[in-house]
């Protein structure tokens, strides 16, 4: 069971990676949940999916599921090897559920394809399913601003410049967590980081780093 792995969930552009970087620098008993030990080539290789056409979006979603399962196994290992640490991760299997639903609503997937992807994700071992989730349910305007700043450093991701698609993805995450509520939902990006810090200190006994004065 993943009892000490905390997942930040939400659409791309909500600042998950930046928040985790801040938490890792501030709390001494934390570890990153996306370490270099993950062999990314292993889940990027072409795999055959029955009923799916190669190079379609649903095919890519299938690979995303495998990535999250591989990472969940790593999180399980990290918990076993570091019983006094809390693991912080910026993606989890929820992404496959939300993005497949968004793809269906946006017309990229047929209903049976979207359902098949979510059913496949649910078939994985219960012990690898994410349990401790913080949902960043931030305004679309904030997401768009973050993405526009990211494009100054990186290439645009899939449909990141399509406002209607971004809105569809946000709604898919909201619908998922309406069905399976997270342990914490945040709506205000201006106070979100401090809310997360206080929540984790209270519920997971995170220890602040004490910097020596020079």
In a domain, 56, yes or no: yes
User: Per-residue pLDDT tens for 33-86?
Assistant: 875 544 444 434 334 434 444 445 555 566 677 788 888 999 999 999 999 999
Question: Which of 89, 74, 83 is CA-nearest to residue 29?
Answer: 83
In a domain, 213, yes or no: no
The token pair at 135 is 């949902």
User: Per-residue pLDDT tens for 91-110?
Assistant: 898 998 998 899 899 988 88
Give the Cα separation of 147 and 32 in Å (integer): 23
In a domain, 214, yes or no: no
User: What pLDDT does 50 receive?
Assistant: 42
In a domain, 210, yes or no: no
Residue with tokens 């401790």: 132
User: What pLDDT does 21 receive?
Assistant: 92
In this predicted structure, the answer to whether residue 125 has a pLDDT above a threshold of 50 is yes
Read off the CATH number of the domain in which 97 is found: 3.40.50.300
In a domain, 212, yes or no: no
In this predicted structure, the answer to whether residue 117 has a pLDDT above a threshold of 90 is no
In percent, the amount of the chain with pLDDT more than 70 equals 84
What's the number of domains the chain is made of? Answer: 1
Q: Which domain holds residue 147?
A: 5-204
* Residues 106/165, Cβ–Cβ less than 8 Å: yes
pTM of the shown model: 0.87
């Amino acid at each position: 069971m993943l009892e000490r792995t905390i997942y930040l969930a939400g659409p791309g552009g909500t600042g998950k990676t930046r928040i985790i970087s801040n938490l890792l620098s501030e709390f001494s008993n934390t570890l990153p949940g996306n370490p270099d030990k993950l062999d990314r080539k292993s889940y990027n290789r072409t795999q055959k999916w029955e009923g799916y056409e190669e190079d379609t979006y649903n095919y890519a979603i299938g690979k995303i599921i495998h990535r999250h399962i591989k990472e969940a196994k790593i999180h399980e290992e990290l918990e076993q090897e570091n019983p006094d640490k809390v693991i912080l991760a910026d993606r989890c299997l929820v992404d496959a559920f939300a993005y497949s639903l968004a793809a269906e609503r946006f017309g990229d997937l047929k209903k049976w394809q979207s359902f098949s992807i979510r059913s496949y994700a649910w078939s994985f071992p219960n012990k690898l399913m994410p349990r401790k989730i913080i949902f960043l349910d931030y305004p679309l305007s904030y997401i768009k601003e973050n993405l526009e700043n990211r494009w100054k450093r990186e290439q645009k991701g899939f449909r990141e410049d399509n406002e209607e698609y971004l809105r569809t993805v946000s709604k898919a995450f909201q619908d998922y967590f309406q069905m399976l509520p997270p342990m914490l939902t945040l709506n205000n990006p201006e106070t979100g980081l401090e809310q997360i810090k206080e929540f984790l200190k209270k519920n997971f006994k995170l220890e602040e780093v004490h910097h020596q004065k020079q």
